[in-house]
Amino acid sequence: MKRLDVAAAAALAALAAYVLFESTKLRAGSFRMPQTGFFPRILGVLLILLTLVELFRALRQPASADAPGKIVSDGWIRIGATLATMLGFAVVLERLGFLLATFFLMVLLLRTIEAPRWPKVFIVSLVASLLSYGLFALLLGVPLPAGILGF
Amino acid sequence: MELLQNFALGLSVALTPMNLLFCFIGALVGTLVGVLPGLGPVGAVAFLLSITFKMEPASAIIMLAGIYYGAMYGGSTTSILINIPGETASVVTCLDGYKMARQGRAGAALGISAFGSFIAGTVGVIGLMLLAPVLGRAALSFGPAEYFALTLTGLTLVAYLSQGSMIKALIMAVLGLIAGTVGMDPISGEERFTYGTLTLRDGFGLVPVAMGLFGIAEVLENLLVRGSQSVYETKIQGLLPNRQDWRDSAAPIARGSALGFFLGILPGPGPVIASFVSYAMEKRLSRYPEKFGTGVIEGVAGPEAANNAATAASFIPLLSLGIPTSAIMALFMGALMIHGIQPGPLFIARYPELFWGFIASMYVGNAMLLILNLPLIGIWVRLLKTPYAILFPLILLFCLIGVYSLNANVAEIVIMLAFGVAGFVLRRFGYEGAPFILAMVLGPIMETSLRQTLLISRGSFAIFLTRPICGVLIGLTVAFLIWPIFMRKKKDA
């Protein structure tokens, strides 16, 4: 846990430095006349201080404090594939249209997360995309992209 | 008398067929969310926020509130039956509730938790009804200095009460404040940190961020460590607690209601803290404290009452001061603001139908939940057996559509996914999302009030100490920050 805590605090300290650097590009004004950059700059300084305190605390803690739960590697694969699928959905949604994109999204997610049999995958995906289309587009009137199917 | 008239006005709003329907949908979805793992009340409210855009403001807030208190009811069902809390406020209910179920008293545990929740929810709503207008009137004299101090105290208190490390919670709060500065400067209108993107001009949207941090991150976490769950197979009979159960539970419910109400007003995870404190209190007051944890009904009745009273009370600071005190209240604020309604001291005077309609709907909703929950417990249990393989893709699908439907903007899906990954990673390192989202919403209020105060005081910070309310609040903030250091020194010594 110690190494992880140190790494997290260090990464956040770097982020804080970046925020501070970015905020110096904005006019800060003075205490009498605070401007756009005033609040972000205060926050940048505050974040640096806090992350340094946390870094210091993490470095001081005993090395073998409770280790995080062991994670099986296929969990990471599942997460990566799930995120990639959702990102892919964002990319193709407006080109393929809502119905097709949702159908493929569901097929891929179902296969990634636990891989039921193919007929079940297709049925669930079909029902989910039709029902969500009905709920959002027809019932709630949300404008969804039509894409190549034309509706 | 005026109160009764107002309440009658509220009933006339809450009892319209449409609002009854939305109240019912909210309570139902809330219970569902509370029962099912993978999506907590914050994620669910964020998701349904996108649906409420086209509704009347009253219907929107009635439905969203239904989700919130519905989830509190639903969460206890899973705590009792499978020892898995549906959401954090039901963690304590596992201790004795699950043991009661193992002893064949699942019915009594579920029953007392439903009745206790109903009684406490009602007490909470009465308190809300009495206190919010008074507080709202008092807040009319607040200036920017008071608002700054109030938000500062609120955020510090949230960090102080957070379950993990206080310093990590403070870091998350500052990160949230920084995220809140993205977009147009609330005073001058200049763009900040937008890097020329149109999507970021109005800042990070509350819904994509909340859904990422609380919806996507939660599912990712579940994908990583997937455990099998078993529903304790027992015949649930006799949902009505017997006379002895009532005798044992009456005082804990009364105490839980009062305690929950007061803790609920404070910023922070009100319902969660309230349930823990109530459990500790009941154990201390009990004639047989050693039996707590083996299946005593007081251990279910007190905390369940406390978390529901706190749920109702947490609306008080939002509706009367315009200050949300938890992640979920931040979303309610977002829901109101989408309709152009600013919660705050003038809210009740300006929108009496909305305020009183909402209050009345909470009575109706609580009664609905009681009727809904007891006979439907069998269905909830069956739903619990929905395989994760189908549940998780559906939750993710709804998150994706929900975010897209807000502005028909694909970039917001990307923002949601980015916050989902960030939330998931940060959570693994012990950084919680709640202070972040709260700070993100409070950020603009805090910045505006700070800058206005400094303009008024000509750059002097003394104003925060010379105005009495400010002085007290700043004093409290300093105390919350110093107290943990002091306590540690004492422990080390």
Contacts of B175 in chain A (CB under 8 A): 12, 15, 47
Tell me, what DSSP letter sits at residue B184? E
pLDDT at B201: 87
Q: Which of B420, B434, B428 is nearest to B170 (CA)?
A: B434
Contacts of B193 in chain A (CB under 8 A): 22, 40
Report yes or no: A93 at the B interface, CB cutoff 8 Å: yes
Q: Which of B444, B454, B416, B209 is nearest to B327 (CA)?
A: B209
Residue B278 token pair: 């109530």
| Average pLDDT of chain A, as a whole number | 86
d(C-alpha B446, C-alpha B440), whole Å: 10
Q: What is the dihedral of CA B296, B299, B305, B310, to 10 degrees?
A: -170
pLDDT at A28: 87
Mutation site, B50, B162, B181, interface A, largest A CB count within 10 A: B181
Say if CB B396 and CB B417 are below 8 A apart.
no
Chain B, window 355-414: residues with a beta carbon less than 8 angstroms from a chain A beta carbon: 387-390, 392-394, 396-398, 400-401, 404-405, 408, 410, 413-414
Say if CB B169 and CB B432 are below 8 A apart.
yes
Report yes or no: A140 at the B interface, CB cutoff 8 Å: yes
Mark yes or no for CB contact A71/B394 under 8 Å: no
Say if CB A9 and CB A48 are below 8 A apart.
no
Per-residue pLDDT tens for A45-58?
A: 999 999 999 999 88
Per-residue pLDDT tens for A33-46?
A: 899 999 999 999 99
Report yes or no: B140 at the A interface, CB cutoff 8 Å: no
Report yes or no: A115 at the B interface, CB cutoff 8 Å: yes
Assembly ipTM: 0.92
SS3 content of chain A, % helix, strand, coil (to 5): 75, 0, 25
Per DSSP, the residues of B371-432 read HHHHHHHHHHHHHHTS-HHHHHHHHHHHHHHHHHHHHT-HHHHHHHHHHHHHHHHHHHTT--
Say if CB B438 and CB B159 are below 8 A apart.
no
pLDDT at B228: 47
Q: Is A111 exposed, middle or buried (0-12, 13-18, 19+ CB in 10 A)?
A: middle
Mark yes or no for CB contact A90/B413 under 8 Å: yes
Contacts of A68 in chain B (CB under 8 A): 428
Chain centroid, CA B266 distance in Å: 12
CA-based torsion, B247, B249, B253, B256: positive or negative: positive
pLDDT at B145: 93
d(C-alpha B236, C-alpha B221), whole Å: 32
Per-residue pLDDT tens for A49-106?
A: 999 999 998 888 876 555 555 555 677 888 999 999 999 999 999 999 999 999 999 9
d(C-alpha A68, C-alpha A86), whole Å: 28
Q: What is the pTM of this model?
A: 0.84
Per DSSP, the residues of A68-92 read PPP--HHHHHHHHHHHHHHHHHHHH
Regions of chain B short of the pLDDT cut 50: 228
d(C-alpha B115, C-alpha B374), whole Å: 10
pLDDT at B238: 64
